[in-house]
Every structure is written in C-alpha cells, then in structure tokens.
Structure 1
Amino acid sequence: MRGAALAAGLAFLPLATACSGGGEDGAVANRKPPEISDAPAAAVVAPAKVEVIANLTGCKPKIRIDADELRQGLCHTGKVDYSITTFPEEKYKDTWLESASIYGGKYLVGSRWVVAAKPEMLEGLRAKLGGNIRQLQGIGPNPAPSTS
C-alpha cells in the first residue's frame, strides 16, 4: 500500500509543478526554458521503483529482495547481468553503500537507488538514468609491488 502511494505521488509530482501558477504577471513568459540533462527521464524516475528504473534500461527485473529497507531486482541480458536496488530513505542507501565498501568496486548511485554492474556498463546506464559513478575502496591486503 505504501509503495502504491509513493508511486502515485511520484506520478503526479511533474503534473503539479507544471500546472502551478507563475505568481507575477508575465513571469511565465519571461522564464528560461528548463535545462536538459544527460538523462532527461531520470528527473521523473528517481527516486523510483526497481521496475521503473529497469524499464529505462530495457529490462524486466526479477525481484530478489523485497524488504522494508530495500528492494532489489536482477536484470539479465544477453551480454551481462546487473542489479538495481532502491531504498525508501537515503539513510538506507548510505548504510548499504558503507556495507558494500568492504568489497570495493564501482556503482552507479542516484537518489535512493544504486545500480551494480560491470564498470564498462556504468557510463551507458548513467546516460539513461543519471546519477553518479562512485568507486568504493574495499578492504584487504594491497598487492605487493613488483620486483621486476
């Protein structure tokens, strides 16, 4: 039920802001047009449901985790598998990233969502979804320097 309310709220948000009055006479006519981002759909989507983000990447996800703190879906394509994880609050995403940092790697991170994929796929996904690519450090021994 909570998810349906959130989805409905997100669906009506662009309509509510587009239909708001200009305030001052002529202010609407003098406004600059909105800037176009690298991923125009991302402004409408994020934060969103796993299924909405997956649809933007051209996949139908298989939901692996459906919990209060997060939802995670796996996308399988002929080339690669990747996961999309969404969070009801930013603090849950931050905790997830902190936990994932022990493994290291690169992730595409947006507003209350994370995509885990092969590093070479992240730029293409970023063009569709927006977000930022983040490198997590990882823990463990560093390789010894080469003696040759």
Structure 2
Amino acid sequence: MLLHQLRERFSHTPPTPAKGRAVALAGALALVPLTASCSPGEDAHGGGLPRTAVPAAAAVAPARVEVIAELTGCEPNIRVEAAELREGICHTKQGDYLITTFPEEKYKRTWLETARVYGGTYLVGTRWVVSAEPKTLEPLRKKIGGDIQRLQGFGPTAGGS
C-alpha cells in the first residue's frame, strides 16, 4: 500500500505546451519583485555598485528640456514653446548653451538641416540638440551622452566676395 501511494504521489506526466508556458510565465513573474527591489546602482543591502559609463540622459532619452538641464546642472529659462520644439537656455560656469527638444525625430532632422546653413557644432541626441561653443560641448557630452556634430555652413561669407 505504501509503495502504491508513493508511486501515485511522485508519478509525473509530461506537461502540455500550454502548461509549460504557464509555468515559465509564473517563474518569470516570480523573479520581478527580486529585480525591482533594488534601484540602479544599489545592491540588496543598500551598498553602491560601480556605476557604468552610460550617461544618465540615455536612460531618460528622449528627454524634456528640464530633464537635460538638470543633468547638466542648470535651471533652464524656457524661451520657445511650440508644437515642433521646445527651447531652454542655460547659463552656467561651463558656458551658455541652448537645449532644444523635439516631439518627433523628423523635427530634429529638419532643425539640423536648417542649422546647417549657419554651420556650427552641436551635441545631438535622441530628439534633442544642445547648441554651445565647442569647448562646452565635450563636458556636456560626458554628462548627457549624444554625438558632437559639426555642421558646415554654405552661402556667402561675412567678408563678401
């Protein structure tokens, strides 16, 4: 009798594909609280883990003017609020710069094409552009990411022909 009960209790029938998916899903969902319990850069005991070299803006991109400004250590003065873009100007010890954000990538591309007429160097990210002197852009790039792009102007020069 005992042997029969043990066989019944431990007999195993292979799971159906639907049961297998349900078990896998349940297992994955059980791990969510474990991974969500620590914020980035902390372990379960509250100690810090080494931070990666990924700029903070990469985690929040595409960002709002205020978010990028905060990451760069400035309080922006919003000077343009339009459907196609928002612009805020920052005055810091590193220099002055303009942060422009766009609701869609196509607006950023159009803005850059227009800026090409004037030339200049810009820090460009996902749906945002920072305009500043080249010496200011590299320190900002280290904080917020993006790519430094030099746009060549065209047309008559200021000195005339």
Unaligned runs of 5+ in 1: 1-20, 26-34, 144-148
| Bigger shift: residues 77-86 or 66-75 | 77-86
Q: Structure 1 139/55 Cα, relative in aligned 2: closer, same or farther at 3 Å?
A: same
User: How far apart are 1:64 and its partner, in Å?
Assistant: 0.5
User: How far apart are 1:36 and its partner, in Å?
Assistant: 3.1
Higher relative contact order (CA 8 A, sep 6+): 1
Number of equivalent positions: 113
2:58 to 25, 39, 43: 43
User: How far apart are 1:46 and its partner, in Å?
Assistant: 1.1
Alignment partners' CA distance in 2, 1:135 and 1:88:
23
Alignment partners' CA distance in 2, 1:120 and 1:47:
24
> Residue in 1 aligned with 2:74?
59
> Residue in 2 aligned with 1:121?
136
Bigger Rg, structure 1 or 2? 2
Q: What secondary structure sits across from 1:75 in the alignment?
A: strand
TM-score by length of 1: 0.69
Q: CA RMSD in A?
A: 2.5
Q: Structure 1 53/79 Cα, relative in aligned 2: closer, same or farther at 3 Å?
A: closer
CA contact (8 A) 2:57 2:63 kept: no
